[in-house]
Structure 1
């Protein structure tokens, strides 16, 4: 009876921690709201499209380049520490940008503004690392679904804040920047006390499993893999003696689902057993990743596709301005500003849907259909390709929502499945550091594509005597940039199939090794 109550308490704690992680993630995706205020910010400070993209790229650089150091802190210390770092970095990042906007041209250098933007990205990275690590550790049997909660909230963040700003500060860019600086850090602060990682052995304290315990766990898991005594197995799940979901009588409840997600039971066949053992026994992190082909497969997929999404996310506001200036020169600045907010909201909602469906869908693909999670990434790449074709052809701004919705959906699907691919390939213990290595890929591709867009836009812009810049060529202002991202999207499809092939080869080798040991 006491053991049963303890199991219930631990499960409630884990649910609360996922809610807290989701709330933190909601404060971490505000970099994707950049297009909601970037054009107005650039107009007031007399910045070129390239300078505006440098500021936006600095935020992306902070978000992704900080992954490794923040991951080391998260893995070796505690998710709470990185959440605290994120709380302060978000405040210190956004508030000076708000002051720069209020001061106007010359009030702050582009370099300093870019550094503050970089800090906002670091804050988002740190807090999100804490949220994602907590979710994946607390629900080892449902990693895809558990990770989908904070990743979906991350995608919804831009919509959340732009809607609030539109209601509280309509047409007020300074008010939006103030909201971002204060509310993001406050939301992280109030969620930190509930950010708890349950140790499946000791209770509700954050602690990594010691090496000796991992060895014992792996030995037990291999024994279970070879046994046909149980009817069902859960993928990548600790054995009954160390999970908090085992009842006192010894009958496992591993198949109980997080948020009643489907696809949590896999058949008792050799392939499923092999995947179970392989995904849970492996523990690779740090520089050892660089010697693993599966690292480069995931890294290249993420690099090719994330840069495509980041270019549109950071520049949808410029797309709106260019198309409306050509389509209807009489359109007011307020009207165009509201259209920018609309497209940021569409991107955010679509990203939310993509992240949620990809995270849960990848669990179904693996556990019900017995296929690779790379299929979710391949679907993302295909949607990206369609979005680029639409961006190249759509010249009527009333139909630009097709580009923003497809881009958000594809970007969300990509980041909904990639964290789980990393856990499956290299184990959960070093996930934060491993994900930090992965997020270096968007640093490279995001910077290249964003700067290419800025150069293309500036080359077609006209500078007025008062320093104001504008492009009235409509689609011709930026069309060239989307030809580049179309090539990247198609290459991403090929990279996904390469990843599937590599995963199949690795699983085959594991199965052969097990058969050799049994012989």
Structure 2
């Protein structure tokens, strides 16, 4: 009975549906599993293969803000688009694979569509969990984000188990299963704007606090005289009258509230549950127009705020570093192999590269999963900022980049057909640190963005925030690729000198991480000062 009562809550059903959606939407991470066979069968030149992986990033990063706009309008429609698009993308890939179609544009288009559809599902799930559970948005949002990272590992083990090396049936399996999982979101996901979720974003706190009269200031910590709960509307900065403004002690971080609404009443993104029985369709239309206008205004205000661009820089830099390492760890392992023969060492090298991918996936999943509860504990128990998670993430990245550069080649073993065990262990530790840091970063930032700029327009703002990753990933990946090519042996075409092969790249990573630390600390100091000023006012 209790379980039935819990499942009757639309928030619980939406939460379960969100996690199923992200598990099906995270298959872009599976690209490295089928890419070699797809490229070989379709006869794609090796020199152009980097463009295929770039297509995934274009779909997920460059077009991410479009997915965010759709999610802000209606998350169920976004999941439906994601379901249909995922089916089409994998069907095209399977068709090209089966009939050996060497059409680079068609493959790139399908991968871009796959990347776009994946973030349609991800943003819908993250928005749902972040807004539906405002008191524990870090913890709630961590689950779908972590499952999105785990998706590649799950399917990379399921597909070989069921289909072995049959890539054609793998594409058929993915086109059906992933599409159905995204379709579940179109049936279950709903974003409920409860009174607690409608928080005033940080960018409005200072301006509204300064506009408050002495009479209103005296009410900041007063108990409400009405039994109802105040509902927050971030887009309105003036009270109609002092009597209509109620300040709840439970919302100390966001003391400004207007209007009242019963606990049992709430509204959704695409429709409004009637507050009173006499509401008609005209009220619904008016409310929809108001919601859309508030969303647009929130995005515009966020884009005018310099702190948005600080968040943008921090996220883009850490995203570029993390994805560069994830995409290039195989080359780093290869650089620490003195000599690769066709026999045992080649197979061993592939096994070691595969293990690094598994380590990165598991650590990224763990980082995303634990970052949410940790950020909630920081805010609720210690009254600290969630940005401390980003400080920790940056320190992990800084330490990992220092460790990989200390992986000296002076202690290489004399057996030139094996991989140096010491060097390889160091790379494994670095993969753990990079993966954990990358997971913490992506697990923390959604709730950081929601707190900084409010719930209205969250998906659009989040999509814009992640769009910088396509530039930074390209920058750091090109930096490493050019250095490896420049230092490659003239006979083998491969650099196998260990850490000297990528010294310049990870030196740049270190300096970039230090810069991220500086910007993060400056942002934290700015938020602390404004919060302190508002408290005294």
Q: Same fold judged by TM-score > 0.5?
A: yes
Change (3 A) 1:472 1:449: closer
Change (3 A) 1:479 1:186: farther
Change (3 A) 1:321 1:244: farther
Change (3 A) 1:33 1:477: farther
The CA deviation at 1:41 is 4.9
The CA deviation at 1:447 is 2.0
Does the aligned pair in 1 maintain the 2:26–2:148 contact within 8 Å? yes
1:313 aligns with 2:326: yes
The CA deviation at 1:193 is 1.1
The CA deviation at 1:432 is 0.8
Find the partner of 1:502 among 526, 529, 532: 526
The CA deviation at 1:485 is 2.2
Does the aligned pair in 2 maintain the 1:141–1:235 contact within 8 Å? no
Aligned residue number for residue 127 of structure 2: 133
- Which residues of 2 match residues 173-212 of structure 1 at below 5 A? 176-200=170-194
Find the partner of 2:494 among 440, 462, 471: 471
CA distance in 2, matches of 1:356, 1:32: 17
Change (3 A) 1:10 1:102: closer
The CA deviation at 1:418 is 0.8
CA distance in 1, matches of 2:398, 2:169: 36
The CA deviation at 1:292 is 0.9
Aligned residue number for residue 71 of structure 2: 74
Does the aligned pair in 2 maintain the 1:36–1:317 contact within 8 Å? no
The CA deviation at 1:293 is 2.3
CA distance in 1, matches of 2:80, 2:254: 30
Find the partner of 2:458 among 431, 443, 447: 431
CA distance in 2, matches of 1:188, 1:9: 23
The CA deviation at 1:342 is 2.5
Change (3 A) 1:367 1:397: same
- Which residues of 2 match residues 425-464 of structure 1 at below 5 A? 425-460=452-487
Deviation string, structure 1 residues 122-145 (Cα, Å, up to 9, x no partner): 011111111111112211221111
Count of aligned positions: 456
Change (3 A) 1:242 1:26: farther
User: What is the DSSP-based 3-state SS (H/G/I as helix, E as strand, rest coil) of the residue aligned with 1:409?
Assistant: helix
- Which residues of 2 match residues 170-319 of structure 1 at below 5 A? 170-171=164-165, 176-200=170-194, 223-225=246-248, 241-244=261-264, 285-319=298-332
CA distance in 1, matches of 2:61, 2:402: 27
Structure number with greater Rg is: 2
User: What is the DSSP-based 3-state SS (H/G/I as helix, E as strand, rest coil) of the residue aligned with 2:9?
Assistant: helix
The CA deviation at 1:14 is 0.7
Aligned residue number for residue 30 of structure 1: 27
User: What is the DSSP-based 3-state SS (H/G/I as helix, E as strand, rest coil) of the residue aligned with 2:192?
Assistant: coil
Considering Cα pairs closer than 8 Å and 6+ residues apart, tell me whether 1 or 2 has the greater RCO.
1
Aligned residue number for residue 54 of structure 2: 57
Deviation string, structure 1 residues 458-514 (Cα, Å, up to 9, x no partner): 4456899xxxx96252535555433332322222222211221121133234335xx
CA distance in 2, matches of 1:15, 1:194: 10
CA distance in 2, matches of 1:460, 1:170: 37
Aligned residue number for residue 271 of structure 2: none
CA distance in 2, matches of 1:120, 1:85: 11
1:90 aligns with 2:90: no
Aligned residue number for residue 113 of structure 2: 119
Aligned residue number for residue 18 of structure 1: 15
CA distance in 1, matches of 2:424, 2:382: 41
Change (3 A) 1:177 1:410: farther
Change (3 A) 1:49 1:429: same
Aligned residue number for residue 144 of structure 1: 138
Aligned residue number for residue 491 of structure 1: 515
Aligned residue number for residue 373 of structure 1: 386
User: What is the DSSP-based 3-state SS (H/G/I as helix, E as strand, rest coil) of the residue aligned with 1:370?
Assistant: coil
CA distance in 1, matches of 2:515, 2:387: 14
User: What is the DSSP-based 3-state SS (H/G/I as helix, E as strand, rest coil) of the residue aligned with 1:400?
Assistant: helix
Aligned residue number for residue 256 of structure 1: none
CA distance in 2, matches of 1:458, 1:289: 42
Does the aligned pair in 1 maintain the 2:389–2:441 contact within 8 Å? yes
Q: TM-score, normalised by structure 2?
A: 0.74
After the TM superposition, which of the residue ranges 28-37 and 148-157 deviates more from structure 2?
Answer: 28-37
Aligned residue number for residue 287 of structure 2: none
The CA deviation at 1:166 is 3.6
Aligned residue number for residue 417 of structure 1: 444
CA distance in 2, matches of 1:405, 1:284: 41
Change (3 A) 1:339 1:8: same
Q: TM-score, normalised by structure 1?
A: 0.76
Deviation string, structure 1 residues 137-193 (Cα, Å, up to 9, x no partner): 211221111111111111211211112124234455555555444432222123431
Deviation string, structure 1 residues 303-344 (Cα, Å, up to 9, x no partner): 111100010122233334444574776336554444343322
Does the aligned pair in 2 maintain the 1:303–1:441 contact within 8 Å? yes
